[in-house]
Structure 1
Amino acid sequence: MSTSLDAIVFLASWMYVSLAPYTKVEESFNLHATHDVLMYGVQRESLNHYDHFVFPGAVPRTFIGSVLLAWISRIALAIASKLTPFHDKVDIQVMVRLMLAGFNASGLCLLRRAISRRFGGPTSVLFVILTLTQFHLLFWMGRTLPNMFALIPANLALYMLVDRAPNSTRPSKENVHRAIGLLTFASVVFRAELALLVGPLAVQAIVRQYTSIANVVKVGLLTGTVSVVATVLVDSYFWQRWPLWPELYGVYFNVLDGKSAEWGVSPYHTYFSAHLPKLLLSAAPLSALGALLDSRIRSLLAPYLTFILLISALGHKEWRFIIYMVPAFNIGAARGATWLVTRPKNSLFGRLSFLTLVALIAVNCFATFLFARSSFANYPGGAALYAFNRMFASEDNVHVHISNLAAQTGASLFLHSNAPPFLPGFDAGHPTNWVYNKTENLSLRALTASKQITHLIAEIPALDSAVMDSWSPVAVVDGFDGWRLDRHVGQAFKTGVGDGLKALGNALVMLRSEKLVILRRKS
């Protein structure tokens, strides 16, 4: 049973990678850094080929996660290539993301085992069920956001805090120190906001006498110093700027200099009123029930709730800044769900409790289905470039310009299938002299005037009829716009229950529209 639950978590995370293999612009730094480490190596003379010197982004990010992911992926690719040869670089992108998803799944599986030891087998099973029926955690933990690299040590830290005997009143001193060390490392290297979790956790450990102030300071200083030295050495090398501590630079840029406000400012309550409900779905009320019933859950969630209260003071808010909270709240929710499902079934209250849990999980499944369907259709750039590579696979000397929308919605370096660089020993099996051009701010007239450009992947609204005489549309790629509720469902029920149920299955209609067009220059 235990192994089966772990396997389901792995398979679910890998399924999302397979069904949505393309990426968005916010994932691009780490994805392209991993690409460059894989393809070019890490020698100093290779650095000038790296993508981050062309598209550096608003703030520098660490290379530590990308380097480790590239090295691990290289081993996995070497093993997988013995079974089946790789003929397209997009397969390498999928493998890279499978590795990241696998590491995050491993953390969840370790955590599930700790939950089983402390709260019992039924609670660990319900933890898995709730996690599987939520969308964001499993879908995103195979995506190369810095937050998903930070999620690995964050989940390991939570595992350290949970892993103890059922009646133990405190975690071991060693586990507390490891948890503080892991979160300190993650906040120094990957995501600085995790410092707002280290603080409350350290205060709780001292107040409840899990450890001493001296030990907390010692662990924090030692781990912090090692982490700072590591990130400064590694990232100064890859960015060719000395000294560089990316997360400190990010804190100055986004918080002290207030630049994050340029991406939008939300009210203080947004994490509680919008982001947590979206991330947790029915686990939100269930975690409240678990905290009400079990003092162990209240103790566990206290630092995480404090973290959300602290980070809410920052104006710019995104759900991914609090993604680390989801497993902790799911533990509380699983405890609440266990209470509901174990009420005696010979009473009305017991039967209603069980049905309530079933209904809540059903709501999760429905919401996750909608989130997944919309997300699968939300990468038109990746779909367009993949289709383009297939359409013109036999042609030489192709020079394609990729529009901004295409670049932001999936047209990553791994989809430059017919142009170098390639992994050593990689058998392309198709032309390798193409040019993929992502030069920004070029009008359609300028692209038309540039005769070396043979093809375009252009945005539909950007098309200019005055120059379309030079281009032939080859294919159109659509994308997700939203959902529409069909209001004729009620009328269908008036004609009969059968007609009504049939109409109910199509009550929600996905809205799609044309996003990108593939153009070929006319002879």
Structure 2
Amino acid sequence: MKTVPLTGLHVNLALDGLILATAWLHVALAPYTKVEESFNLHAVHDVLMYGFGKDSLKNHDHNIFPGAVPRTFIGSIFLSWISTPPLQFASHLGLIENKFHIQVIVRITLAALNTLGLCLVRRAVSNRFGRSMGIYYTVLTCSQFHLPFWMGRTVPNMFALFLVNISTYILLNRAPHSRKPSSTQNSLAISILTFAAAVFRGELALYLAPLCLQALLNHSISLPTLLKTGIISGLLSAALTISVDTYFWNAPTPLWPELQGILFNVLQGKSADWGVSPPHTYFTSFLPKLLLSGIPLSLIGMWKDPRIRDPLYPAWSFVGLMSLLGHKEWRFIIYVVPIFNIAGAGGLSFFFAVPKKSRWGPISFLLGTALILVNLAITLFSTFVSTANYPGGAALQQFHSLYNPHTTKSPVHVHISNLAAQTGASLFTQIYSQPQWDGIGDRNVNWVYNKTEGLSLAELTGYSSPFTHLIVEELPPKSVLRRRGWKVVRAVRAYGGVNLRLEVLEESVRSVLKDPSLVYSAFEGLKGVVNVRREEKLWILERIE
């Protein structure tokens, strides 16, 4: 049988497939969502289920839970639109049984969109620095935790991430010995970043500023062209978000959500209510958390190849400028991870390029491999822990395994506690509520899922309470439950912390020192060093007839 030689196309498809498979695997392992994802996720739900006609908007979730500041609907509308073909295809194949399956498909669609951005960056890296650099870039990206885990999650940062990656691709995709991007490349990248900052995440203005300064200093764009590009793209972006979001929020005056967010969080200082971190936090905590071994590798890459430094100057400047703000979250700088990974790929190239027959070849190869293996070990552990950190989603899944319209005769009215609502109990997980999508589910069944906040124990469990079931985060005393006619049906366990059992490690080391032949059994014993603790977080209660 003749073997088919690998071509550049085969390699490209394999690398693209690896990035996509990594992102989709994270969605499959952790399909539930947290509260920070809820606005865009619920907006997608409402657009798919109700549409966005004037009469339909009153049913949308943002009218009930508007949040501290308005957010844009542009990302949610776009995601709903690109999710519709895969939803229809999956429905045709009979793969969608309920609304939760729609949530999974929406999330893998977003993950695929961000995969496209990363694949374009990877191809630009291959074009400019060589195919091996593209391979190392892919391996490094897939071995990290935060970016693959979050690129399918509906926070505004993930919509902005795609646009930042597109701009990075535009600036980077040029000949290996090209000294700078063209004026057209700069104009297009600046326009895209302006749109991302105006519509999705205002902090990107702090990335755009040093990028524009760099373009001016290296004479790759003129000041008049820069001003013209910025003004036109800024006005068009503002006009789009104001027209769309004024309509969706039914605002009496023109509404620019991202501008309101900046005024609220930065100028009024309200972001400090969520905590203030020291200025060094991004450099000493969040970047190492995001990049893992990519930190030392990127420094080596910058030292090895001066061409790598150009995209990193604005990235470093962005992190420095963001450090001036009091409230810090790793999500605010997620956009620079693909850029740092370009330099990290250069670092891996340094280790793997040493000839294997040379004196330092084997050591260099082992060091490079070890750095990737460290990434993978941390990622596997972080993923395992994270999958257990969505008790709200698990509670509703277990609730539906206990009760369904075929076995539960009386109408169900379940109250969902705040913790459950914040940790996975999204609108898509309310599978027996109306409306349903495209014939999925029984339209004659309409369970009520109630998330009213601030209800007392008496209001929840009293005789006049409308609830037939409760998902609670504080278990009432058994005597109270018995007296008021309630019973505990199930406790929902979730992540409760990590225990380090150093005595197990010490015992394993001692046994090997005494008898080296016990190394395998000692290695098996190391599994008990780190223990992920699961605790009861939520309880499902049922009213006794």
* TM-score category, normalised to shorter length: over 0.9
Match of 2:435 in 1: 421
**Displacement of 1:492:** 3.6
Match of 2:454 in 1: 441
Cα distance in structure 2, aligned partners of 1:170 and 1:306: 19
Match of 1:207 in 2: 217
Cα distance in structure 2, aligned partners of 1:324 and 1:222: 24
**Displacement of 1:103:** 0.3
User: What is the aligned-residue RMSD (CA, Å)?
Assistant: 1.3
Matched residues, percent identical?
Answer: 51
What amino acid sits opposite 1:499 in the alignment?
A: S
Secondary structure of the structure 1 residue equivalent to 2:532: strand
1:140 to 131, 150, 155: 150
- 2:537 is aligned with 1:515: yes
**Displacement of 1:507:** 1.9
- 2:104 is aligned with 1:94: yes
Provide, for residues 19-71 of structure 1, a one-character-per-residue CA deviation record: whole Å limited to 9, x for no partner.
Answer: 11100000000000110011000100111101011111111100000011112
Tell me if the contact between 1:444 and 1:464 (Cα under 8 Å) persists in the aligned partners.
Answer: no
Cα distance in structure 1, aligned partners of 2:525 and 2:427: 43
2:505 to 489, 502, 517: 489
1:6 to 8, 16, 33: 16
Match of 1:36 in 2: 46
Cα distance in structure 1, aligned partners of 2:34 and 2:28: 15
Secondary structure of the structure 2 residue equivalent to 1:286: helix
Cα distance in structure 2, aligned partners of 1:464 and 1:27: 34
What amino acid sits opposite 2:348 in the alignment?
A: A
**Displacement of 1:161:** 1.1
Provide, for residues 147-169 of structure 1, a one-character-per-residue CA deviation record: whole Å limited to 9, x for no partner.
Answer: 00101101000101110111111
- 2:161 is aligned with 1:151: yes
Secondary structure of the structure 2 residue equivalent to 1:348: coil
Tell me if the contact between 2:23 and 2:152 (Cα under 8 Å) persists in the aligned partners.
Answer: yes
Secondary structure of the structure 2 residue equivalent to 1:219: helix
Q: How does 1:56-95 map to 2 (within 5 A)?
A: 56-95=66-105
What amino acid sits opposite 1:507 in the alignment?
A: V
Secondary structure of the structure 1 residue equivalent to 2:55: helix
Q: How does 1:375-414 map to 2 (within 5 A)?
A: 375-393=386-404, 394=406, 395-396=408-409, 397-414=411-428
Provide, for residues 119-153 of structure 1, a one-character-per-residue CA deviation record: whole Å limited to 9, x for no partner.
Answer: 10111000000001100001001000000010110
Q: How does 1:171-320 map to 2 (within 5 A)?
A: 171-241=181-251, 242-320=253-331
Cα distance in structure 2, aligned partners of 1:505 and 1:516: 28
Tell me if the contact between 1:444 and 1:467 (Cα under 8 Å) persists in the aligned partners.
Answer: no
Indicate how the Cα distance of structure 1 residues 306 and 458 shifts in structure 2: closer, same or farther if over 3 A, else same. Answer: same
- 2:466 is aligned with 1:456: no
Which structure 2 segments of 5+ residues have no match? 1-10, 512-517
**Displacement of 1:351:** 2.2
Match of 2:63 in 1: 53
Tell me if the contact between 2:504 and 2:528 (Cα under 8 Å) persists in the aligned partners.
Answer: no
Cα distance in structure 1, aligned partners of 2:217 and 2:144: 34
What amino acid sits opposite 1:480 in the alignment?
A: Y
**Displacement of 1:105:** 0.3
Cα distance in structure 1, aligned partners of 2:368 and 2:508: 31
Q: How does 1:473-484 map to 2 (within 5 A)?
A: 473-484=488-499
Secondary structure of the structure 2 residue equivalent to 1:505: helix
Tell me if the contact between 1:35 and 1:414 (Cα under 8 Å) persists in the aligned partners.
Answer: yes
Match of 2:334 in 1: 323
What amino acid sits opposite 1:145 in the alignment?
A: V
What amino acid sits opposite 2:304 in the alignment?
A: L
Provide, for residues 389-439 of structure 1, a one-character-per-residue CA deviation record: whole Å limited to 9, x for no partner.
Answer: 22101224011000000000000000111110111322x158622110101
- 2:366 is aligned with 1:344: no
Secondary structure of the structure 1 residue equivalent to 2:56: helix
What amino acid sits opposite 2:536 in the alignment?
A: E
Provide, for residues 260-284 of structure 1, a one-character-per-residue CA deviation record: whole Å limited to 9, x for no partner.
Answer: 0000000000000000000000001
Match of 1:366 in 2: 377
Cα distance in structure 1, aligned partners of 2:520 and 2:308: 46
Match of 1:129 in 2: 139
Cα distance in structure 2, aligned partners of 1:464 and 1:234: 50
Which structure 1 segments of 5+ residues have no match? none
Cα distance in structure 2, aligned partners of 1:430 and 1:508: 48
Cα distance in structure 2, aligned partners of 1:218 and 1:451: 62
Cα distance in structure 2, aligned partners of 1:498 and 1:64: 55
Match of 1:18 in 2: 28
Q: Which moved more, 1:132-141 or 1:164-173?
A: 164-173
Match of 2:37 in 1: 27
Cα distance in structure 2, aligned partners of 1:507 and 1:391: 36
What amino acid sits opposite 2:107 in the alignment?
A: R
Provide, for residues 365-404 of structure 1, a one-character-per-residue CA deviation record: whole Å limited to 9, x for no partner.
Answer: 1110111011100000001011112210122401100000
Q: Which moved more, 1:62-71 or 1:487-496?
A: 487-496
Q: Which moved more, 1:91-100 or 1:382-391?
A: 382-391
TM-score (norm 2): 0.94
Secondary structure of the structure 1 residue equivalent to 2:255: coil
